[in-house]
Chain A
Amino acid sequence: MSEKELVTLTINGREVKAEPGRILIDVAEELEVYVPRFCYHPGMRSVAVCRMCLVQIEGQRKLQPACATPVTDGMVVNTTEASAVDAQEGMLEFLLINHPLDCPICDRAGECPLQDQTYKHGPGSSRYIEPKRTYEKALAISDLVVLDRERCVLCWRCVRFSDEVAGDAFIQLVDRGPGTQILTFNDEPFDSYFSGNTIQICPVGALTSKPYRFVSRPWDLTSAPSVCAYCSVGCPITNEARGDSLVRCQALPNENVNDFWICDKGRFGYHYADSDERLTSPLVRNEADEFVDTSWGDALGSIAAKLKDASTVGVVAGGHLTTEDAWAISKLAKEVLGTRDLDSRVQDEGAPYERALGLSSAAGSNATINDLERAGTIVWVGPDPKETLPVLYLKLRKAVVDLKAKLVVVSPRRLSLDVFATHVIRTEAGKAAEAIARLTSDDTPSDVTGPLVVCWGPSSPGRADASSIDALVDLATKLGGKLLVCPPHAGSQGLIDMGVLPSLDAGYEIPATPGRDTRAILEAAADGKLDALLLFGADVIADFPDADLATRALEGGAYVVVVELFPTETAARADVLLPSVAYAEREGTFTNLERRIQKLEPLTESPGVAREPWRVCASLARAMGEDWRWHSFGDVWDDIRANVRTHAHIDLDLLAARAPTPAPHYESGFEPDPSHSTGVVAGPGGPYPKGHRSGTPYQTGQNWPLSWELRGFEARQRPGIVPEPPASNGARPPRADDSEAGAEEGEGFALLTGRMIYDAGTMVSKSSALRHLARTPFIELNEQDAKALELSEGDEAVVRANGREARLEVRLGDVARGAVFVPYDQPGLRTNTLTGSGRVTVVRGDDDRA
């Protein structure tokens, strides 16, 4: 916006220019004038109910709420004028009359906006001598959230979040007047995938976290910024530890990625890192074929000796590795082991990421997540984002519901997006491409308005997707749209970028001769034609869509090396088992689905002698005679910059760059009370990443309340970097062979699978907070199909494939005729035992016909 269109206003005697229509409270904050507030939250619409941010504006008879007042030219604002100061003090007095003041036993104390603002703006004592309002305390409204209505100041943040942002209004205002309270409607549990955000934005201790309850005082926590290690959205988070155990995880805002939110899986799933089941030292087999502890030197020496003799080696990497690990694996395989048989696609096996090339020179997105917010039309072809990419679901919802983009969903089964989608196109399994092609037929483009973003995520299995991504690329090319590619895991895109794919080298270069993919590697191993198999965080028995093949592969005689966090089923079949480190224990980067690189900082120590996978690779290379001279995270990046054309200019300092902890001039009209500032704990301990202490302003000596808003302010300084891919030469891999596309014909039903947010996967099942949230496995099928099978809702069905069978509860749903949906990896069901052929037969539970 040009200088001319800006308005000039005065805040506390200082002139400032701002875009007209911006909210006064934000403009003031940029001027480092902090207006106290409870209900205002930059991620939600203003409601102006707490009345804490009342300020004086010249010419206005009454004080005005700064959170609901747009700036106008010539506005003269005073936040420290006597009536404003009296209003602030008065509002706090009102809020405190019924507040229990149980700070000594409140989790929030020490980082509580009510506490902080009371110190700063509140009356020193209370004039209230009447009985207080009481409610039942510590009401567990879900498995993760505890509600204390006595502490609540009725700011509506949780209510607005649930309604406006998450779109599942579980938590509500009940009753009215002084009896108004927050409750779940009809006492139903607060069963939202995003419930934890309400804990973080609660300005008091009314909503607290069940797993974190009474675990620590905030001033005893150390914290470090990181990136969520689950899905490929890559939400920035802060890990917090007491001593050396990880005790809390909170969202850090990044308006490019997650706005202010994370899902409950990201927030409460950190417990797996502290699990007792973690591997702590390298394990090798003794004569009795049992695992025994050994040293890294011995383990690596024996691996090197075996690998030197191996002529055929396959390498498979899982999706939770960092970009550095990915580069190390890629380099190890191609330069040291001399193999191109490496792949990073396990559950998404065969997903044709490289087919995004041509639209841009990236095998991945050329759209950013925020392009969704600017989009006129969005096309979604992929898994259910609410289950697999929860925060992307929030962005999609915001784009459609708030910003009025059109949304076209092409899917063989009902997705959570359907509720607000403009068009839902139900296709037969594997027939998405035809439906997408019809979107470009002459009569539809008029409906595709504004900037177009097409989103694609691999279905499961992913090998049937080539035609649908081609169709989307065609659509985007024809209408000038952008593509958002959504691989499944936090590390998936980094692995693609670093060339851990059989058909792609680092920097999206296409190799002359592609190697074998995961399936081919496993088939070779099963046939005894592979000498060695290296698995980096890849639990192929649990995740590869053909469990039978994976099991046979591990028993096919190849020498198997597994780098893992846990003794998984796959790891149990290894010859050598090496312990890896979890995300909170390491420095590293994740590349998210929009190819944004974000940095993880280490916080806790890894158990035993666990090492980062890139260190394992470098040590192995050295043991095999090639010294990469990598000793630190920085060394790996020097090598990446030198060798990967797309990453040549990534500045690590910029990735970690952050402004010093802001300590703005605090204009409240009150002088700090000197009695509070004696005997304070020392100020912020050094630069932020490690050793940062939180606490009230008076404990830290900071002149600023250290509630979560501040952490957000800090996080804004770490936006991450999206590398610009080199100019496209338009080169594309050859078109998909049409015969590959589409569901395989045959007996029974096409089997659709997909991950649910909580499953029996390694990370969730090792998290004490989440493991019980996974649901019982089910089969979802079309009503007509069910009728033909004499099945109805709740019946037991026997599902058979590959000579295996599972007994599953029937759910009727909006699934394409001739297809059934079974969620991936739910407790008691290894769905990948059924997925081998892509088809299943279904009969009633009491039907004895085989």
Chain B
Amino acid sequence: MVAEQALVVRKRLVEVDHAWKADVYADTGGYEAARNVVTSMSPEATLELVKASGLRGRGGAGFPTGMKWSFVPKDVFPKYLVVNHDEGEPGTFKDRELLESDPHQLLEGMIIAAFAVGASKAFIYCRGEFALGSRRIDQAIRSAYDNGYLGEGVFGSSFDFDIVLHRGAGAYICGEESALLDSLEGHRGQPRLKPPFPAVKGLYGQPTVVNNTETLSTLPHILNHGVDWFRQWGTEKSPGVKIFSVSGHVNAPGNYEVPLGTNLGDILELAGGMLNGNDLKAVIPGGISAPLLTTTDMAMDFEELQGAGTMLGSGGIVFMDHTTCMVRNALVAAQFYEHESCGKCTPCREGTWWQVKVLERIEHGEGRKEDLDLLLDMCERMDGRCFCPLGDTAAWAVRSNIKSFRSDFEDHVAAGHCTYETDHRTLVGARAGATGLGDAGVTSQPSAGIGSDHDGHAR
């Protein structure tokens, strides 16, 4: 049987032309869920429903959304909702597509979330490189105001809700929620000490819910169709559907929305199989922070991947074939982390610097045998000791490359040069992220489901 997508969040943008336009969105059932919530439901009931759905954050950590909301103190005002649209994980481009192609869906999700937690002001922290997306969401916010979906008295109710679009400057660390808040406040984008968590003390010291674009975009569907409908997909602990961004050595890279728990092999099949029919070598299952898999026999949900020593993360899957040199792969990942380390804590700042230095030496044929154990030791001394997960995952990425493909490294050291005949246009997602060329790197790949609409000039 050929694998099929379970289109929910991506349904409109796949099936309807110009889904990003306000009238198109409204004509296809848009804003009904938000209208219903705001005019006929209580915040408590909304929160309970989201809790019952088991929706987990789609940004990377997979924290249950309803539970996150319930940590927000009831009697402290003002509260804020912040959208984490700083999608920076190499190999991930799902939020970007949602913002570019269905921005009103995000706005509707935001209205629901803000109503449930009692926030009357929201900020969309949009990654700086997302030029088209930020234009589209800006336009969407304007038309939502014009139509009375935002501003004073949303849908004629007593609920006031304002949205501010803020464009970041392209720092990966600003995808970490507390660094995002610092950046939003105008400080250096660096993670904050936790506790207190943002739900208690977030933006400007006020209770703040930080949710990912995909998470919020899922809400209207849960509200429209109910908990049981949502739970028809996925597992008990990881219910629902999830968008995976597939890139690397595959025939049809792009975003694919499938039930959580779908086999990785089925996702590869959806993406047209391996490029040129080559053999699979390694898979990054959830953005380059996630340790490598060497098989496609894996159920893609939070628990299974954690059990396999890796993680679902942001859902950015990168397939690599047998022509890929893992020294190069590790170096590219390490360079990315070194470039994106905020410099706040010692192990991340110095560890990523050292990793790159040693990997560069190996790549250039000056590696020593003891360098591999040195790198692994470094990873041990970074992992779990950094201020925020950036440094920890920098350790995971390098460690996983060495542990799974030690012979690549040993051959490199022994031969004094790379033994692969590869041009380095591999690893599209990862390299694009590493060089900061997010737009150019990823849009050059056809994105499944988005056709001519996606010309980058539409306005």
Contact = CB atoms under 8 A, between A and B. Distances in A.
Interface of A: 46-52, 54, 61-63, 68, 86-87, 90-91, 93-95, 97-98, 127-128, 130-131, 133, 153-154, 173, 175-180
B179 to A, nearest CB: 11
Nearest to A176: B343
Given A87-B381, A93-B381, 6 more contacts: A48-B193, A86-B380, A95-B350, A130-B358, A177-B352, A178-B353
A27 to B, nearest CB: 18
Task: Name the residue among A46, A48, A127, A175 with the largest chain B CB count within 10 angstroms.
Answer: A127
B96 interface: no
B92 to A, nearest CB: 21
Contacts of B386: 51
B343 A154 contact: yes
Contact of B193 (A47, A90, A95, A130): A47
Given A48-B387, A97-B354, A178 B381 contact: no
Contacts of B353: 97-98, 133, 177-178
A46 B188 CA distance: 17
Given A128-B354, A130-B357, A178-B353, A173 B188 contact: yes
Contacts of B361: 130
B349 interface: yes
A713 to B, nearest CB: 25
Interface stretch (B119-127, B139-147, B334-342): B334-342
A92 to B, nearest CB: 9
B374 interface: yes
Nearest to B391: A51
B364 interface: no
A50 B339 CA distance: 19
B188 A176 contact: yes
A23 to B, nearest CB: 12
B352 A49 contact: no
A176 B341 contact: yes
Interface residues of B, number: 29
B345 A49 contact: yes
A68 B196 CA distance: 11
9 contacts: A62-B385, A90-B381, A127-B374, A128-B354, A133-B353, A153-B346, A154-B346, A176-B341, A178-B350
B338 A177 contact: yes
B387 A51 contact: yes
B21 to A, nearest CB: 39
A127 B342 CA distance: 24
B343 A95 contact: no
A48 B345 CA distance: 8
B343 A90 contact: no
Contacts of A97: 350, 353-354
B286 interface: no
A176 B385 CA distance: 19
Contact of B347 (A61, A94, A127, A177): A94
A51 B349 contact: no
B346 A86 contact: no
A49 B388 CA distance: 10
Contacts of A128: 354
B347 A49 contact: no
A86 B188 CA distance: 31
> Top 8 closest A-B pairs, CB basis?
A180-B343, A90-B381, A94-B350, A178-B353, A130-B357, A177-B341, A62-B384, A176-B343
A628 to B, nearest CB: 61
B343 A63 contact: no
Contacts of A86: 380-381
Contact of B346 (A49, A130, A131): A49
B424 interface: no
Contacts of A178: 338, 341, 343, 349-350, 352-353
Contacts of A133: 353
A51 B346 contact: yes
Nearest to B349: A178
A46 B354 contact: no
Interface string B346-371: 11011111100110010000000000
Contacts of A176: 171, 188, 341-343
A91 B344 contact: no
B173 to A, nearest CB: 8
B412 to A, nearest CB: 17
B371 to A, nearest CB: 9
A50 B345 contact: yes
A177 B381 contact: no
Contacts of B384: 61-63
Nearest to A54: B385
B415 to A, nearest CB: 21
Given A177-B340, A178-B353, A50 B385 contact: no
